[in-house]
């Protein structure tokens, strides 16, 4: 069984422009995201003007409100992690943690495997930016000592 050439509801033009822009090097991924969002926005307005269906003013306002809520949530998480990292730095907890890890009576490879296990578990549960900021501070003093 083959897929039909046209699947209703999928805008192949936008997909082609996005992937073509990235793979030809014409746009960076960030620029491509902006271009794709603008294209979809203008297509929704055009469908409303031409076919009488598409994005209404209330739909636009609702989408902007949801975008704002999501942005505030993401920035709140990032600010919380930055405060947490400062707290760890001021209390000296990272140094104490690094000393404890380094003086464990196991081989360095096992310590690195434990760190990798924690990364896998937290990576499945946390946002990537926050995960990187959260884990960078406690593990940073450990790596140079274990590499000797």
3-state DSSP assignment of residue 6:
coil
pLDDT over 90, % of the chain: 16
Taking only the tens place, the pLDDT of each residue in 81-108 is 888 878 877 888 777 877 787 788 888 8
Helix axes 128-139, 57-91, angle to 10 degrees: 0
Residue 4 has pLDDT above 50, yes or no: no
Taking only the tens place, the pLDDT of each residue in 15-66 is 888 899 999 999 999 999 999 889 888 888 877 777 777 778 888 899 889 9
φ, ψ of residue 11 to 5 degrees: the values are -95, 95
Residue 70 has pLDDT above 90, yes or no: yes
Domain extents in the chain: 1-55, 57-148
- The answer, as to whether pTM is greater than 0.75, is no
The pLDDT, as a whole number, for residue 35 is 92
* Residue 143 in tokens: 């790596």
pLDDT bracket for residue 3 (50, 70, 90): very low
Taking only the tens place, the pLDDT of each residue in 102-122 is 788 888 888 888 888 888 887
Helices (H), the chain: 12-23, 29-51, 57-91, 93-102, 108-125, 128-139, 142-146
């Amino acid at each position: 069984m083959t897929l039909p050439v046209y699947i209703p509801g999928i805008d192949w033009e936008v997909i082609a422009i996005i992937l073509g822009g990235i793979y030809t090097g014409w746009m960076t991924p960030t620029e491509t995201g902006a271009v794709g969002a603008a294209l979809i926005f203008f297509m929704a307005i055009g469908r409303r003007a031409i076919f009488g269906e598409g994005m209404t003013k209330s739909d636009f306002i609702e989408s902007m409100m949801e975008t704002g809520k999501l942005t505030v949530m993401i920035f709140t998480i990032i600010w919380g992690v930055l405060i947490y990292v400062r707290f760890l730095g001021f209390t000296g907890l990272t140094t104490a943690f690094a000393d404890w890890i380094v003086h464990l009576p196991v081989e360095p490879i096992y310590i690195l495997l434990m760190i990798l296990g924690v990364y896998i578990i937290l990576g499945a549960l946390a946002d990537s930016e926050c995960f990187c900021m959260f884990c960078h501070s406690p593990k940073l003093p450990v790596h140079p000592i274990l590499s000797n």
